[in-house]
């Protein structure tokens, strides 16, 4: 929506996982959620500062922040590349204990994940309809128009990146607690996953649709992407091939709408060429 390239997603995801893991290991699983989101918003703030106040291009700013976050994440975990939470209380173990006498006892992971997804989607739907949310959307469409309307695009871009960073870090925190394991490389390639999810969702829900449908489309795209991943694993595909699968999915998602528009013209060309051969 902001029309900027933020490649700090990989590091921000791992940052949320690192902060959430440390806080959960300290015995405060619920506190790990806001702590991870605060760390993610700080990452977004730094990225926005580099872009808007220091003249660094958005693409380069994301790369710089992502590179620096590797060292920051190692410092947070005490120079440990992996942490184990198998004996620690997490958000998911708390939910498991809470639902142990209910019909949802075995689906506690899915239920917790669904609750957080719904909360994030509802928050975005309401936030992007506020004056600030409309200003953020307008900044991505036409920053000059926003500036002429006495709205500071630096402020709106900063808020937008802070919000996106906090949600990214929340995802990393939940992933680490669900797996009960933290790895310094767990966010590697997440930009590709996020891009593929958004593009796949855009195939089903146009960008001109209302915000709730667009948010639901992004969630649907993420689910479809993971289903394709699961099918690749079911086919006994080697682990090193999964990156290629991700790349192919992204290419298909990007080129799909274009090829769909070009299909009638390609069909006419093929048909005319075929008729020409028969006439000859």
Instruction: State pLDDT tens for residues 81-114.
Output: 999 998 888 999 988 888 888 877 788 899 999 9
Looking at residue 26, its pLDDT comes to 92
- Provide the residue ranges of all domains of the chain, joining segments of one domain with +: 1-183, 189-280
Q: How confident is the model at residue 279 (pLDDT cuts 50, 70, 90)?
A: low
- Residues of 137-151 as b/e, b for ≥16 C-beta within 10 angstroms? bbbbeebeebeeeeb
Q: Is the pLDDT of residue 209 over 80?
A: no
- The confidence score (pLDDT) of residue 160 equals 93
| Burial class of residue 56 in the structure, from the number of CB atoms within 10 Å of its CB (0-12 exposed, 13-18 middle, 19+ buried) | middle
- Does the pLDDT at position 237 exceed 90? no
- Residue 77: the pLDDT is 93
Is it the case that residue 280 has pLDDT exceeding 70? no
| Per-residue pLDDT band at 32 (split at 50, 70, 90) | very high
- Among 47-56, 59-68, 140-149, 153-162, the minimum mean pLDDT is found in 140-149
Which residues, listed in sequence order, are joined to residue 183 by a DSSP beta bridge? 82
Q: What is the mean pLDDT of residues 121-144?
A: 88
- C-alpha angle 56/62/65, rounded to 5°? 95
pLDDT for the residue 277: 66
More confident residue, 277 or 57: 57
Q: Tell me, what's the pLDDT at 35? A: 95
- pLDDT at site 117: 93
Q: Which of 157, 182, 214, 198 is nearest to 36 (CA)?
A: 182
CB 5 within 8 A of CB 59: yes
Q: 46 or 231, which is more confident? A: 46
What's the whole-number mean pLDDT along residues 199-221?
80
Helix (H) or strand (E) holding 72: helix 58-76
Gap between the Cα atoms of 90 and 24, Å rounded = 6
The reported pLDDT for the residue numbered 203 is 74
Q: How confident is the model at residue 47 (pLDDT cuts 50, 70, 90)?
A: very high
Tell me what pLDDT residue 278 has.
Answer: 63
The model carries a pTM of: 0.86
According to DSSP, residue 103 is labeled: T
The 10s digit of each residue's pLDDT in 68-80 is 999 999 999 999 9
pLDDT > 70 fraction of the chain, expressed in percent and rounded: 97
pLDDT at 208: 66
DSSP string, 180-231: TEEETTTTTTHHHHHHHHHHHHHHHS-TTS-HHHHHHHHHHHHHHHHHHHHH
Residue 178 — pLDDT band, cuts 50, 70, 90?
A: very high
Mean pLDDT for the stretch of residues 134-161? 86
Strands 82-84 and 181-183: antiparallel
pLDDT grade for 231, boundaries at 50, 70 and 90? confident
Residue 204 CB coordination number (10 Å): 13
């Amino acid at each position: 929506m902001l029309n900027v390239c933020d490649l700090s997603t990989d590091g921000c995801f791992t940052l949320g996982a690192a902060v959430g893991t440390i806080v959960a290991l300290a015995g405060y699983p619920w506190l790990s959620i806001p702590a991870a989101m605060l760390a993610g918003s700080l990452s977004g703030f730094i990225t926005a500062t580099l872009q808007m106040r220091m003249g660094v291009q958005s693409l380069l700013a994301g790369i710089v922040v992502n590179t620096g976050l590797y060292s920051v994440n190692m410092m947070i975990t005490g120079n440990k590349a992996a942490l184990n939470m198998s004996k620690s209380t997490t958000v998911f173990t708390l939910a498991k204990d809470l639902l142990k006498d209910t019909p949802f006892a075995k689906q506690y992971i899915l239920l917790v994940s669904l609750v957080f997804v719904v909360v994030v989607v509802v928050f975005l739907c309401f936030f992007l309809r506020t004056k600030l949310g409309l200003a953020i959307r307008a900044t991505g469409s036409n920053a000059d128009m926003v500036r002429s309307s006495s709205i500071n695009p630096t402020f709106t871009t900063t808020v937008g990146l802070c919000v996106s960073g906090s949600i990214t870090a929340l995802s990393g925190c939940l992933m680490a607690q669900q797996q009960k394991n933290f790895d310094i490389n767990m966010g590697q390639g997440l930009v590709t996953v996020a891009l593929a999810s958004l593009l796949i969702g855009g195939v089903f829900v146009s960008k001109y649709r209302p915000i709730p449908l667009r948010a639901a489309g992004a969630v649907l795209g993420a689910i479809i992407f993971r289903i394709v991943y699961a099918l690749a694993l079911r086919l006994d595909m080697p682990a090193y091939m999964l990156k290629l699968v991700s790349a192919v999915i992204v290419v298909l998602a990007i080129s799909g709408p274009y090829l769909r528009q070009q299909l009638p013209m390609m069909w006419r060309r093929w048909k005319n060429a075929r008729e020409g051969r028969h006439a000859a």
